[in-house]
Copies of this chain bind each other. A is one copy, B any other.
């Protein structure tokens, strides 16, 4: 796609931005629900297309589609509830010296957002995924750069979006679909002056490249790039005593789930070298040995997995624990777990790198202090998980606060795989999990990435947005003179 086509796309998006300002929350909510409906209406044909392009199973894709439509509906609910706009009103005190003005503020869309989807979630993190849904909820037009690994799937979903746009009389270019898979097209989109923000899910190098393009612009724009994680797991001593084999089974399943192709895959397990660890490793080994390989998403990911996994195993001091013993088909991943001592791990930065696939590295520590020390060196994750009993938590109460510096989500006595779509979810974290730890990709707060506050001082009632009018026509929660209320303001 030539640069002048990118230019046309952005001009169209800018026009859609202006048109969208005239749409009320209910219209946008109805539109989001309609996108969900149209995606469902594609039926099994969509699931089959995606299965062909990604090697994912139909059941997995059915579940993912439900999550995708669930996200769209969550944002529709958010729009109808209305308080997400953070309406704050401070009424005037004209007789004060100096007079206090009337000040009212709320959130507005920042402008057209370019969304780069992920290959490992062809629905939920792609064309109509969370970045698109949150940007639309924010009132931003979206330009989706179709992922080259599932172009036909993306096109089908885009068609569903187009149907929803037409059925609901939304601006024609509310969502656009760029199929040029070239690197230059991506750069041109990020650097076009009319682009206001970027959402990306993918590799560290890909995300950082886009971030670098965005920050060198004359007018820098925000980039929310979610770039992977090793999701360190802590196995505390008492939990290891009580539930040794159970933890091994639970984690083996999480490591191989989806052939490890989740950004929440547990790639690092920290434990103390003792009798329980020996039993744990035996059970983990059994589970991994018996695990069934399956095809990875695409050849690029497949090659990268084997390259990185083999390279990790070649590192001095890294001991292969076990691999699946089932024969591999082409494109299959090979579930693999390895073990290393803490001192070796601390001295080889390569061992902290994400190996995207069903691979996990167990780090053996001499005691809890060494374990906590290793943990603190892998800050910058989406999640960290802690397996512990009440006794462990009494013995190591500092663990929760340390965890808050390491990741955006702290999982207790569970696995990190499985991201609940709900208001309290945080899917984000310190760098390099994300380029901005202050935001989340999942949950209603995901909308905050795409909005900016604007204040109106002494505005005439007629020019105020509905959410800031005295009458509060949408009856939303607002902060009025420091009180949270839904009441109208009587002047």
Q: Which residues of B contact A452 (CB under 8 A)?
A: 408, 428, 430, 437-438
Min distance, Cβ A21 to any Cβ of chain B, angstroms? 5
A403-418 to B contact mask, C-beta < 8 Å, 1/0: 0100111111110001
Is A206 an interface residue when CB atoms closer than 8 A count as contact?
no
| Contacts A110-B438, A423-B479 given; does A408 touch B453 at CB 8 Å | yes
Would you call B408 and A460 a contact (CB within 8 A)? no
Is A341 an interface residue when CB atoms closer than 8 A count as contact?
no
Would you call B412 and A456 a contact (CB within 8 A)? yes
Would you call B425 and A105 a contact (CB within 8 A)? yes
Would you call A410 and B459 a contact (CB within 8 A)? yes
Contact of A463 among B220, B399, B435 (CB under 8 A): B399
Q: Which residues of B contact A410 (CB under 8 A)?
A: 454-457, 459
Is A219 an interface residue when CB atoms closer than 8 A count as contact?
yes
Q: Which residues of B contact A490 (CB under 8 A)?
A: none
Is A98 an interface residue when CB atoms closer than 8 A count as contact?
yes
Would you call B457 and A412 a contact (CB within 8 A)? yes
Contact of A400 among B103, B211, B455, B459 (CB under 8 A): B459
Contact of A436 among B103, B222, B428 (CB under 8 A): B222
Contact of A104 among B401, B424, B440, B465 (CB under 8 A): B424
Q: Which residues of B contact A401 (CB under 8 A)?
A: 21
Is A431 an interface residue when CB atoms closer than 8 A count as contact?
yes
Cβ-closest chain B residue relative to A479: B423
Would you call A219 and B110 a contact (CB within 8 A)? no
Would you call A422 and B463 a contact (CB within 8 A)? no
Would you call B424 and A455 a contact (CB within 8 A)? yes
| Contacts A414-B457, A426-B455, A457-B412 given; does A463 touch B393 at CB 8 Å | yes
Would you call A423 and B90 a contact (CB within 8 A)? yes
Count this chain's copies in the assembly.
2
Would you call A425 and B455 a contact (CB within 8 A)? yes
Residues in A453-491 with C-beta less than 8 Å from chain B? 453-460, 462-465, 477, 479, 482, 484
Would you call B423 and A482 a contact (CB within 8 A)? yes
Would you call A400 and B463 a contact (CB within 8 A)? yes
Would you call A110 and B437 a contact (CB within 8 A)? yes
Tell me, in angstroms, the Cα distance from A103 to B442 when the chains sit together. Answer: 13
Is A43 an interface residue when CB atoms closer than 8 A count as contact?
no
Q: Which residues of B contact A24 (CB under 8 A)?
A: none
Q: Which residues of B contact A70 (CB under 8 A)?
A: none
Q: Which residues of B contact A463 (CB under 8 A)?
A: 393, 397, 399-400, 412
Would you call B103 and A420 a contact (CB within 8 A)? yes
Min distance, Cβ A394 to any Cβ of chain B, angstroms? 8
Tell me, in angstroms, the Cα distance from A311 to B220 when the chains sit together. Answer: 28
Would you call B108 and A424 a contact (CB within 8 A)? no
Cβ-closest chain B residue relative to A453: B426
Is A89 an interface residue when CB atoms closer than 8 A count as contact?
yes
Is A275 an interface residue when CB atoms closer than 8 A count as contact?
no
Cβ-closest chain B residue relative to A455: B426
Would you call B404 and A454 a contact (CB within 8 A)? yes
Tell me, in angstroms, the Cα distance from A444 to B212 when the chains sit together. Answer: 31
Is A112 an interface residue when CB atoms closer than 8 A count as contact?
no
Tell me, in angstroms, the Cα distance from A283 to B477 when the chains sit together. Answer: 46
Q: Which residues of B contact A296 (CB under 8 A)?
A: none
Would you call A390 and B460 a contact (CB within 8 A)? yes
| 17 more CB-based (< 8 A) A-B contacts, given A219-B431, A408-B455, A438-B452 | A90-B422, A98-B418, A100-B422, A105-B424, A211-B215, A390-B460, A394-B462, A408-B453, A409-B457, A410-B457, A411-B457, A411-B458, A412-B458, A412-B460, A412-B463, A426-B453, A430-B452
